[in-house]
Amino acid sequence: MSPTRRTFLGTTASTLAAAAAALARPTDAAAALAPAITTGKGRPAVVASENGLRGVAKAREMLLAGRDPLDAIIAGVNIQELDPEDNSVGLGGLPNAEGVVQLDASVMHGPSRRAGAVACLEDIATPSLVAKAVMDHTHHVLLVGRDARRFALDLGFTPQNLLTEASRQAWLRWRATLNPRDAWRDDVDPRAVPFRTGTINMNAVTAAGDLASCTTTSGLAYKVPGRVGDSPIVGAGQYCDNTVGAAGATGLGETNIKACGAMLLVEFMRQGTDPQAAALKVLERVLSLAEPRQLDARGRPRFDLTFYAVHKDGRTAGASFYEGAQYAVADDAGPRLEPAAYLFRRGERPA
């Protein structure tokens, strides 16, 4: 069951007491791994993928009102999940190869060290909330497919058709371009068919230094039914450690899964690496694990991947393979888009 306010405050107090005791014991393994946090100047802070600009503003507003960091960022990503004009997540997401919208999401709550996730969820527009329900109401982390849907319905989530007319038309155009010898008309310009690996990731740190992370997506457009990317994989699509920071990713999930990118980014920050430098190091690791078919003749990626990070002290960062990517951030300077760091200039992108 969800914790009451009294039990949540009691748990938080116990956590802080345990942290203080750990710092008093230099030989304790947890204390040895935890970095020294000397400032909270930038807190509260929220960082997200570019499509999360409205969301980071909402989340930080909630953090300033004293709300839990996970509740705040879920409210932020719900904006995109419920927007039928956004075909990368939730309602209106681009469907799989059979024309069915399948959604994935995962969440992680720093203070309680708990996580929840769902994959291949159908008919529920807010998989982030279902992922949190898995965390709140079960001892599991990940539920999938029809059983994830049944779990959501049992808890009172309302089913609906997630395929908007715009996304259905996009799917029909995609299907028409598959094979010029099939029975479908093939007079569609392939460039008119939207294709995306769209996702929203959001991470936050409160004024007190508590952290949370969330990633939600409709996945790779026109994917093989049942395909699961990195978004619902804790440690890949998102990861949070309340002693260090939180991170997540958007882009081609298969490449990130192999690198456990979000967790690796947090571990680099644990070692004292700046969030931006840590994100760039993870991109280099992903690149080192890429298959030859995914690289051009110069070893540059033919796919996109962007990482987002927030440090416990309030520093934020975003980094991508190629110049031109942006990320959303909200802190003392207000909500805005910032240019992401990058490994390669846009002119170096393979054709």
Which residue among 126, 199, 243, 316 is the active-site one? 199
State the sign of the Cα–Cα–Cα–Cα dihedral 162, 123, 137, 5. positive
Catalytic: 15? no
User: Strand, coil or helix: what is 30?
Assistant: helix
Cβ count within 10 A of residue 198:
22
User: Strand, coil or helix: what is 123?
Assistant: coil
Cβ(66)–Cβ(72) under 8 Å?
Answer: no
Strands 114-121 and 142-144, bridge-based pairing: parallel
Q: What whole-number distance in Å separates Cα of residue 178 and Cα of residue 168?
A: 16
Task: Write the DSSP string, 120-154.
Answer: EE-S-S-HHHHHHHHHHH-S-SEEEHHHHHHHHHH
Element (H, E) at 163: none
Residue 270 to residues 108, 325, 343: CA-CA distances in angstroms? 17, 25, 22
Bond preceding residue 69 cis, omega within 30 of 0: no
Which residues are the active-site residues?
199
